[in-house]
Amino acid sequence: MRDYHANVSIPQSGSSTSGTLLGLVVASTGGGSGVDDFLAQLATWMGQELSCTEREVTCAITVTRRKRPPSIAGSTAEAAASSLRLHLALDDENSAVVSLCSPRREAFSDEYVAAARRFASEASAALLLALRISQLSQSRDDLAAAMQSRTIIDMAIGAIMAQNRCPRDAAFKILRNTSNNRNKKIRDVAASLIGSIAGDTDTSARFED
């Protein structure tokens, strides 16, 4: 049997909630700290917002992303007398569950559950935004690394062409064969060559067919 107390406050959502959630997204993702920091702040904030004098609530959030291990933030009471799980609607690649716990028996009335679900609905939009920002940031970093790697390889190919007076295809073949023979990535071999030319290393290897 659930407890219905007239004097128990019910959490309210609204424009201030949306503003707070957006602020959490900006604060956590703007500095590059990413989704984990946002989740920690979101779990703390939801626990505070969904608690009251008569009902202390702890909050934990579990996020599952495609091809990545689950991320868990917040905490749940080990000796909780009441618990409530809310699924957040994200997208086809991401899912999340909010777990609310209280040491008080029958702490979550129907009215409270409805209010908590409204909070969860707004939180899901903010969480999805944080996830997409994180994904875009990761894609940007991957692209930058790929471009840097491509630049180093191109520079090494140019050096081999000049050293061996050969066309580009032949120079790349030499670089690839050297990579295979040394059991090293092409980028690492290229970086070693450029480093030796620039005088950054003691490596002095001639790249020949």
Start-end ranges of CATH 3.30.450 in the chain? Answer: 15-140
pLDDT per residue over 62-98, tens digit each? 998 887 888 888 886 667 888 899 988 788 888 899 9
CA distance 69 to 194: 37
Q: What is the pLDDT of residue 32?
A: 55
Q: What is the pLDDT of residue 206?
A: 47
Architecture of the domain spanning 15-140: 2-Layer Sandwich (3.30)
Q: What is the pLDDT of residue 126?
A: 86
Q: What is the pLDDT of residue 68?
A: 83
CA distance 60 to 73: 6
Q: What is the pLDDT of residue 124?
A: 87
Closest CA relative to residue 122, chosen from 15, 9, 10: 15
Q: Which regions in the chain score pLDDT beneath 50?
A: 1-10, 201-206
Q: What is the pLDDT of residue 91?
A: 86
Q: What is the pLDDT of residue 139?
A: 74
Q: What is the pLDDT of residue 2?
A: 37
Tokens of 61: 């959030």
Q: What is the pLDDT of residue 29?
A: 67
Buried (b) or exposed (e) across 84-106, using 16+ Cβ within 10 A?
A: bebebebeeebbbbbbbbbeeee
Q: What is the pLDDT of residue 199?
A: 62
pLDDT per residue over 118-136, tens digit each? 888 888 888 888 888 877 7
Question: SS3 of 185, please?
Answer: coil
Q: What is the pLDDT of residue 71?
A: 87
Q: What is the pLDDT of residue 8?
A: 37
Is it true that domain 142-198 has CATH number 3.20.20.70?
no
Question: SS3 of 9, please?
Answer: coil
Query: What is the DSSP secondary structure assignment for residue 52, as one 8-state letter?
Result: B
Q: What is the pTM of this model?
A: 0.56
